Structure 1
């Protein structure tokens, strides 16, 4: 399994998602998004999942945390809902039909669920698994170590632990009824620091 096995979708929505991410997010948050996409694709391949909407998965992965940045933060909803609505607006501009736009919102929101049933939402399942791996180090043996190392070299973790911890702590303090509070109360900061991916760098 290599990065080259997973080409970036050559579409308006995919290009727009990456442009938004790189313009508004820090390098650490954007590389987290790209690693999450690659982990998700790798998990799908390893588990022989069929029927994956690869463009939708890419857009959702790249934009899943954009609601944490100042320009897209929303004081009334969770950061994952805010991120999802950014993706809805982007994909509307790219000509996606309403049903598929709602799917990208669902996938982004569900990435913060404790778990997602793949029968309910395959892309949501893959993104939840992938972000869990990248943030807390959940199930690192789901992917070959050589692939983990290749992705970490291509998209270094940098200051992710510090930056993401700060972002989600801020969200939790301002929006105590959202999933950010659950993540922080569940030991997010410790898990970020102890993530085994940090030792593979």
Structure 2
């Protein structure tokens, strides 16, 4: 891996190196390269907006943000974001990270799929989501130069049919716990993936509750 990609220096501290090794060993190449791009797009967004953030924390949050989709969590009852956040918390504790940094990274991972909230929180939380949104949905695509995008794609390439493959990765990581998708964008994934999936409806839960009125 190049140390500098699109003007972003890849963190090379002990914790960053350990995170790289762990995620390379547990994630598919598609998801690992996606996580690297999330870091790069998130960091570039931070530079452009002149935000102050810890690059190593952003790197760890980016690498762990989809950890909850991995096979070891196929029987988990929790939202995949929470599993990923918990994995990052355990990892960071092992590496002696400050509790405040652990909490911030946990929050960044837990909220990375939640629209309308993360962008109003700390730079780490906002930039983790921004990186995810850029790489998955193209949010802010034109705010990056063609050269920046090209350099990132050369260093961390998107696989052929990435759009379809990442939707499949999300679906396979959540299909055993459909109830966790209620009220989130994850419901869209299972709605498209599983013909037997039926969304919960908040109004139905209110009207169907045990309260008499």
The reply to whether TM is greater than 0.5 is yes
| CA RMSD in angstroms, aligned pairs only | 2.4
- State how many pairs are aligned: 188
Name the counterpart of 1:197.
none
With the length of structure 2 as denominator, give the TM-score of the two structures: 0.79
Distance 1:98 1:70, change over 3 A: same
Partners of 1:16 and 1:90 within 8 A in 2: no
Distance 1:187 1:140, change over 3 A: farther
Structure 1: unaligned runs, 5 residues or longer: 191-201
Using the TM superposition, name which of 6-15 and 102-111 deviates more. 6-15
Q: Deviations over 1:137-164 (max 9, x none)?
A: 2221121121011101111111533332
After TM superposition, give the deviation of residue 99 of structure 1 in Å.
2.4
More helix, by proportion:
1
Name the counterpart of 1:193.
none
Name the counterpart of 2:176.
174
Using the TM superposition, name which of 109-118 and 180-189 deviates more. 180-189
Name the counterpart of 1:125.
126
Name the counterpart of 2:210.
none
After TM superposition, give the deviation of residue 72 of structure 1 in Å.
4.1
Is residue 56 of structure 2 the alignment partner of residue 55 of structure 1? yes
Distance 1:25 1:181, change over 3 A: farther
After TM superposition, give the deviation of residue 179 of structure 1 in Å.
4.3
Larger Rg: 2
Distance 1:13 1:120, change over 3 A: same
Is residue 95 of structure 2 the alignment partner of residue 94 of structure 1? yes
Q: Deviations over 1:89-117 (max 9, x none)?
A: 11111111222212111111111111335
Name the counterpart of 1:104.
105
Q: Deviations over 1:10-67 (max 9, x none)?
A: 2221111111111011111000000010000111111111x20211111000111111
Partners of 2:19 and 2:60 within 8 A in 1: yes
